[in-house]
Amino acid sequence: MNNDVLQDEVLLSRFLHKQDEAAFKALLNRYQRQLYSFVRRHIGQHEDVADICQQVFIQVFRKAEQYRGEASFKTWLYQIAINQCKNYYRSQARHPVDPVAPDELDTRTESVDYELVHGDEERKIFNSAITRLPERQRQTLYLHLYQDCSFQEIANILGCPTGTAKANYHHAIQALRKRLNPE
């Protein structure tokens, strides 16, 4: 068990067993930026993203006793986030919204290394290509590249076998290569 996972478990235990709100705030602070980035890439609208992130942490607060520890806290958190994004899409079904508005992404808050994508125009094209990927491929790509999740963590988050997570990532990369370099 790595140090981050152990620290998450300790903080969650302190919150659950000692009602230590400072421990919960520490968890929130550890994941707030990563979670915002993840949800922003799915939803796009800043106001909605902030609301969804708040709902995720409210769910964590309310359901912390249900956390069984079968997966890491990070995995559990992202499962909740994906479910909240799905709830958002269902609630917006009558008014479709582009899941990611590439021209509105604030890359200054992202921990993304655009080593292959230079300049604003290329970044917009790259982000637009990502938004056209199937949902599972897009989620796998975001989790692996931008959230630094292992394929095992991704499999746990998405509720699929590790091989499926790897395949989704592979297909996402292949689709991006075709869209960005059609030759």
Which of 171, 151, 176, 174 is closest to 161 using CA atoms? 151
CA–CA dist 124, 36 (Å, integer): 20
Q: Which is more confidently placed, 74 or 95? A: 74
When the pLDDT of each residue in the chain is averaged and rounded to a whole number, the result is 82
Q: Which is more confidently placed, 6 or 169? A: 169
Q: Which is more confidently placed, 117 or 179? A: 179
How big is the CA angle at 97 (ends 133 and 182), to the nearest 5 degrees? 30
Topology annotation, domain 1-99 = Rna Polymerase Sigma Factor; Chain: A (1.10.1740)
As a 3-state breakdown, the chain gives helix, strand, coil percent values, each rounded to 5, of 75, 0, 25
pLDDT at 79: 93
What φ, ψ does residue 180 adopt, rounded to 5°? -90, -20
pLDDT at 35: 93
Tokens of 64: 């912390």
Collapsed DSSP state (helix, strand, coil) of residue 60: helix
Per-residue pLDDT tens digits for 46-73: 788 999 999 999 999 999 888 888 888 9
Is 156 in contact with 71 (CB distance < 8 Å)? yes
Per-residue pLDDT tens digits for 90-131: 887 645 445 444 444 443 333 334 444 456 777 788 888 888
% pLDDT > 90, the chain = 43
Give yes or no for residue 28 having a pLDDT over 50. Answer: yes
Q: Which is more confidently placed, 99 or 13? A: 13
Q: What is the DSSP string of 99-167?
A: S--GGG--GGG-----SS--HHHHHHHHHHHHHTS-HHHHHHHIIIIIS---HHHHHHHHTS-HHHHHH
- Domain-wise residue ranges, the chain: 1-99, 106-183
106-183 placed in CATH 1.10.10.10: yes
For residues 149-174, give the mean pLDDT. 94
pTM of the full predicted structure? 0.71
